[in-house]
Structure 1
């Protein structure tokens, strides 16, 4: 994941494909951030970040849950 201006960009690379997903901010707080991405002609898919005090981050994207590890 990488920041580009006001957006976040997720790059997913596999053996056969490379996909880029742009996350647009909707709400940003100290302990929570909600973004969205557009798919299939404009359908909004929510993306949520839960940030705790010790630096841990949980990302919820579609049916996936990603946990940041140090």
Structure 2
């Protein structure tokens, strides 16, 4: 189960970072700052894009975990 939580943790961390960037954007870029207008909005959208790619590859992550488990036997 711990290994499956590893996959979930990756999703959660990416989603959490997207929310943090979006929240900072909505609050006037006070935490992360911004190098240009909409910088934190772009960061949030990039994190969502990364999350979608991560989710699309979950089957591959599960395969890697299974291979690692077989090596332990």
TM-score range, shorter chain: under 0.3
Give the structure, 1 or 2, with the largest relative contact order (CA under 8 Å, sep 6 or more).
Answer: 2
Higher helix proportion, which one? 2
Higher strand proportion, which one? 1
